[in-house]
Amino acid sequence: MAKSTSIEWTDNSFNPWIGCSKVSEGCANCYAEAGDNFRHWTPMGWGPGKPRHRTSAEYWKEPLKWNRAAATAGIRTRVFCASLADVFDQEVAPAWRMDLWNLIRLCPYLDWQILTKRPEFIASCLPSNWGSGWSNVWLGTSVENQRWADKRIPHLIAVPARVHFLSVEPLLDSITFKSLDDIEWVIVGGESGPRARPMALSWVSAIQAQCQTANVPFFFKQWGGVNKKATGRILHGRTYNAFPP
């Protein structure tokens, strides 16, 4: 099936709703908010107290089509959920999240990559039959510096999941992980866009080395910067494109 997103580590993105509030330094230059300012997806703007915009019923049928195509091809397809929101945002009606879980359940040939900056709410938002984790759901958290790595990772790994992953993007400072024993995948990337903050080679190299030592698949997404196409995604003379087994 054709890839419908430019995000390097997934095949498709799906947004059950649009809108969010900033929670940490990694959100400072939120590209979803910038997109919303330009396209006005949300009715009253971005941020706390602003209603989230649920995407259309027609759009919600897209994953079902991807699932049918994946089943026919016999090839699992990755879906990043959500690039313009946060699934565990507490300003979203629980019924919307339940609808999302029901959709995910109907799509067993898709690997749903749910990435959040609010892992402290995952446990209380899971469906009652989550068990040891649904086989088609990967749970991830974003960590941009040491402080948020130390805070968020324990919440993430406390919840059972087929894959626990870290999106270390935008990497804003050096990070030393206390342990990667319960992490099955690490993505690293620099910030892109007009206000991109710099990322040092030494920060990326240290994380890659830590993943190598811990035998954790490492994916280097991008250097970022004002022109991310120009800076590319070569690290140590090669690309790093590993995925979880």
Residue 167: CB minimum distance to ligand SF4, A: 10
Residue 41: CB minimum distance to ligand SF4, A: 12
Cβ neighbourhood burial of 240 (10 Å; 0-12, 13-18, 19+): buried
Build a one-symbol-per-residue string for 160-199: x at contacts with ligand SF4 by CB under 6 A, - elsewhere.
----------------------------------------
Q: How many residues of this chain interact with ligand SF4, rule: CB under 6 A?
A: 9
| Cα(134)–Cα(116) distance, integer angstroms | 17
The encoded tokens of residue 79 equal 């879906």
| Cα(90)–Cα(121) distance, integer angstroms | 8
The interface with ligand SF4 within residues 81-100 (CB under 6 A) comprises 86
The interface with ligand SF4 within residues 107-166 (CB under 6 A) comprises 117
In the chain, % helix, strand, coil (3-state, to 5) comes to: 30, 20, 50
Q: Choose among 135, 138, 143, 108: nearest CA to 122.
A: 138
Query: Which member of 4, 8, 13, 22 binds ligand SF4 (CB under 6 A)?
Result: 22
Q: Of the ranges 20-28, 58-66, 146-154, 184-192, which one interacts with ligand SF4 (CB under 6 A)?
A: 20-28
Q: Of the ranges 28-36, 53-61, 208-216, 223-231, which one interacts with ligand SF4 (CB under 6 A)?
A: 28-36
Question: Of the two residues 8 and 91, which places its CB atom closer to ligand SF4 in the complex?
Answer: 91
Residues in Cβ contact with 77 at an 8 Å cutoff, skipping those fewer than 6 apart? 1, 11, 12, 66, 67, 69, 70, 109, 110, 111
Question: Of the two residues 27 and 235, which places its CB atom closer to ligand SF4 in the complex?
Answer: 27
Q: Choose among 138, 71, 123, 129: nearest CA to 102.
A: 129
Residue 32 in contact with ligand SF4, rule: CB under 6 A: yes
Question: Of the two residues 7 and 32, which places its CB atom closer to ligand SF4 in the complex?
Answer: 32
| Cα(80)–Cα(70) distance, integer angstroms | 15
What is the binding site for ligand SF4 (CB under 6 A)? Answer: 20, 22-23, 27, 30, 32-33, 86, 117
